[in-house]
Structure 1
Amino acid sequence: MPNVTLQYLERRLNQPLAQAWQPITADDLTEIPLLGRVSAGMPIEACPEVGSIQVPTRMVRRNTYALRVCGDSMVDCNIFDGDVIIIERRESAENGETAVVMINDQEVTLKKLYIEKSGVRLQPANERMAPIYLRNDDIQVIGLVMGVVRQAELAA
């Protein structure tokens, strides 16, 4: 396998996600679990796979793991198909946060989460895609996006 250059992007807090990514250097690496794939499109069945990925230590918190993104529903937040997202395990999200959400204990998806009077709206960051509307009881937040690992060849 050819040597692939990775680009590490850390999330700057209190910034809109599309502008929140700050490139960081990979001086000190830590291994975290790569737990499978997450759909950035239509929700896909949660299919765990066990692996690991090296990330800069400063991107790792208490409950950090990684998922590979499949799809292009989050392109306006600068998260692309094939990226690996660094997730901090959380059970709740603020309105408008980009979260990994489990639907009906079966499917996982990556979307912006909005709490509305009638339930929950999972909003893609891609104007060509429609939001998903669900009842509060149908979803469970499982983590928030804190970073991105991208192959440098894919970087724009």
Structure 2
Amino acid sequence: MPSLTPQYLTRQPNLPLAEAWAPIDADDLVAIPLLGRVSAGMPIEACLDAGSIEVPTRMVRRNTYALKVCGNSMIDCNIFDGDVIIIERRESAENGESAVVMINDQEVTLKKLYIEKSGVRLQPANEAMPPIYLKNSDIQVLGLVMGVVRQPVLAA
């Protein structure tokens, strides 16, 4: 019988995101806001839900919140549909970082962010999906992915 407890993965520094996840124990849990969904695919309308999720205290910083992932654009970074990502609220991202980005103050998506001469490239971590090209003024970084809560798969 599969385990029904979530798996908590925290980001290890200085490693590519696909290899950066390390499991941590669920010793001391603390509730953080679960603010809604984020698309790992085509951007979706930003809609906030009020909820919470318990995560290990080691995953929490000063401005931490969670979002549920919908889609498969980040599978090569080991982030899957149905995962809950732990976000540290930030207003900027380095090249190649996985960021939650708001587009035109309306839609939200999870992508790897690259700053280029002509603007910004939001790059999926899935070879089957194309990048999104935008002007710098069209996007706002909302936060960076710092952890993942992988929910258990329930047997049918």
1:11-30, aligned counterparts within 5 Å? Answer: 11-30=11-30
Shift of 1:117: 0.1
Please report how far the alpha carbon of residue 132 of structure 1 lies from its aligned counterpart in structure 2 after TM superposition: 0.1
Q: Match for residue 121 of structure 1?
A: 121
Question: What's 2:63 paired with?
Answer: 63
For residue 50 of structure 2, give the secondary structure of its aligned residue in structure 1. strand
Paired position in structure 1 for 2:54: 54
The alignment-based identity, stated in percent, is: 82
- Residue 67 of structure 1 deviates from its aligned partner by 0.1
- List per-residue Cα deviations over 1:63-99 (Å, max 9, x = no partner): 0000000000000000000000000000000000000
TM superposition shift of 1:152: 3.0
Partner of 2:149: 149
Q: Partners in 1 of 2:28 and 2:153 — Cα distance?
A: 22
Q: Distance in 1 between matches of 2:47 and 2:4?
A: 26
Superposed displacement of residue 39, structure 1: 0.1
Give how far 1:153 is off. Answer: 2.5
Partner SS, residue 76 of structure 2:
helix
TM-score (norm 1): 0.96
Secondary structure, counterpart of 1:86 in structure 2: strand
> What residue ranges of structure 1 are gaps of 5+ in the alignment?
none
With structure 2 as the length reference, what TM-score do the two structures score? 0.96
1:146 and 1:152 map into 2 onto residues whose CA distance is 20
SS at match of 1:153: coil
| Distance in structure 1 (CA, Å) of the matches to 2:151 and 2:38 | 17
Secondary structure, counterpart of 1:54 in structure 2: strand
> Which one-letter code corresponds to 2:42 in the other structure?
M
Alpha-carbon RMSD across the aligned residues, in angstroms, is 1.1
Quote the Cα distance in structure 1 between the aligned partners of 2:140 and 2:4. 35
Distance in 1, Cα, partners of 2:104 & 2:6: 34
Q: Which residue is 2:75 aligned to?
A: 75
In 2: Cα distance, 1:119 partner to 1:151 partner: 36
After TM superposition, where is structure 1 displaced by more than 3 Å over at least 4 residues in a row? none
Query: Following the alignment from structure 2 to structure 1, what is the Cα–Cα distance between the partners of residues 11 and 49?
Result: 25
Structure 2 gaps, min length 5? none
Which residue of the partner structure matches residue 101 of structure 1? 101
Give the drift of 1:35.
0.1
Do structure 1's residue 136 and structure 2's residue 142 form an aligned pair?
A: no
CA distance in 2, matches of 1:141, 1:151: 26
